[in-house]
């Protein structure tokens, strides 16, 4: 394995440093007076991750180690991809779609990418496609974002320092804010992910609740104080963000402590949350009696919900059909 020093003109550390800077094994081999195969042996010996063969010939560049190290901006982009990105099942490709081109330009710059942004003229949606086997594998194996993630997304293990930036990324990808209605809404297909996200938001003292439908879930934050608190949290020390949503948050010009959510809204939200807890437990157990016991209501309360709340009735019927089909 060890070449005579009189032949090799570079140290192993120098070889590794050149490779990490993006130089190809062929070029390094010529400068070190050894073969490309030997360069790869040295890199494996020093436990330097190897790029796929031929990657240096790519037309476009990107920082392929980007998702290996946590930062505020990395957490934001990770959340954005979790909400609005796509990982190809067959190609080494990560795609991010958005109507606002500027945020894609910001993500592209942050990841040191030279990949082009294209536009679908029919829909007006811009697309950033990044080709990288390493980035794709890191998203899958380190952060749990897989192809066909819609129904199977789960919350990654995010350091507390970067959590708000991840949530802001997900919010920018798949959330909405309406100051006039005093409401923030997240939408997605993974019940598990929204259960986890709801718990994180509630721990911040922010009032939120879930609405479970047949194929998707909504997470809703309502009330002036809760929306202000959520915005203060996710926008603190923010760099990357969608300006359109940030400007909607800025419409609230009062301080958090001067605001209230309103008692009538709290009562309504509490009832909605209890109904949603019932539906989420029904998805798992399929037993009405058990669900009533677990959320501490009488079976007659469930019957009243079915009788007086047409929306709840429709959602329960949809979930019951799935259960009957064995889904």
Distance CA 173, CA 163 (A): 16
The Cα-based distances of 115 to 64, 122, 124, 130 in angstroms read 13, 22, 19, 6
| pLDDT at residue 193, rounded to an integer | 94
184-220: pLDDT as tens digits: 999 999 989 999 999 999 999 999 999 888 888 999 9
Higher-confidence position of 157 and 56: 157
Are the beta carbons of 217 and 211 closer than 8 angstroms?
A: yes
Q: State the pTM of this model.
A: 0.69
Burial of 80 (0-12, 13-18, 19+ CB in 10 A): buried
72-128: pLDDT as tens digits: 999 999 999 999 899 988 888 999 999 999 999 999 999 999 999 999 888 999 999
Task: Find out if CATH 3.10.28.10 is the number for domain 66-150.
Answer: yes
* H/E segment holding residue 216: none
Burial of 210 (0-12, 13-18, 19+ CB in 10 A): buried
- Where in the chain are all domains bearing CATH 3.10.28.10? 66-150, 167-324
| pLDDT at residue 70, rounded to an integer | 97
| pLDDT at residue 322, rounded to an integer | 83
Mean pLDDT for 269-287 is: 87
Under 8 Å CB-to-CB from 92, ≥6 apart: which residues?
A: 52, 131, 132, 133, 136
| Residue 260 binned pLDDT confidence (cut-offs 50, 70, 90) | confident
| pLDDT at residue 97, rounded to an integer | 92
Partners of 187 in the β-ladder = 218
Give the domain 167-324 fold: Endonuclease I-creI (3.10.28)
> Residue 263: is its pLDDT beyond 80?
no
Are the beta carbons of 242 and 172 closer than 8 angstroms?
A: yes
Are the beta carbons of 158 and 148 closer than 8 angstroms?
A: no
């Amino acid at each position: 394995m060890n070449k005579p020093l009189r032949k090799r003109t570079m140290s192993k550390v120098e070889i590794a440093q050149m490779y990490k800077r993006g130089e190809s094994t062929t070029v390094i081999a010529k400068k070190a007076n050894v073969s490309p195969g030997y360069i790869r042996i040295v890199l494996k010996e020093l436990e330097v991750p190897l790029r796929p063969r031929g990657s240096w010939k790519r037309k476009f560049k990107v920082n392929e180690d980007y998702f290996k190290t946590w930062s505020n901006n990395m957490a934001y982009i990770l959340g954005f991809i979790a909400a609005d990105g796509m990982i190809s099942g067959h190609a080494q490709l990560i795609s991010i779609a958005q109507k606002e081109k500027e945020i894609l330009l910001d993500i592209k710059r942050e990841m040191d990418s030279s990949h082009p942004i294209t536009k679908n003229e029919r829909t007006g949606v811009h697309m950033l496609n990044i080709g990288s086997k390493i980035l794709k594998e890191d998203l899958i194996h380190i952060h749990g974002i897989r192809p066909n993630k819609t129904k199977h997304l789960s919350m990654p293990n995010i350091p507390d320092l970067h959590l708000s930036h991840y949530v802001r990324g997900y919010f920018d990808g798949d959330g909405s804010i309406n100051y006039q209605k005093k409401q923030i809404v997240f939408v997605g297909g993974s019940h598990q992910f929204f259960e986890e996200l709801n718990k994180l938001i509630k721990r911040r003292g922010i009032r939120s609740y879930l609405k479970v439908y047949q194929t998707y879930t909504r997470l809703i934050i309502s009330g002036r104080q809760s929306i202000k608190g959520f915005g203060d949290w996710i926008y603190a020390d923010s760099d990357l963000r969608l300006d359109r949503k940030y400007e909607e948050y800025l419409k609230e010009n009062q301080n958090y402590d001067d605001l209230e959510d309103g008692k009538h809204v709290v009562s309504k939200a509490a009832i909605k949350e209890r109904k949603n807890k019932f539906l989420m437990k029904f998805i798992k157990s399929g037993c009405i009696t058990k669900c009533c016991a677990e959320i501490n209501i009488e079976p007659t309360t469930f019957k009243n919900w079915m009788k007086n709340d047409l929306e709840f009735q429709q959602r329960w019927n949809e979930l019951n059909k799935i259960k009957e089909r064995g889904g």
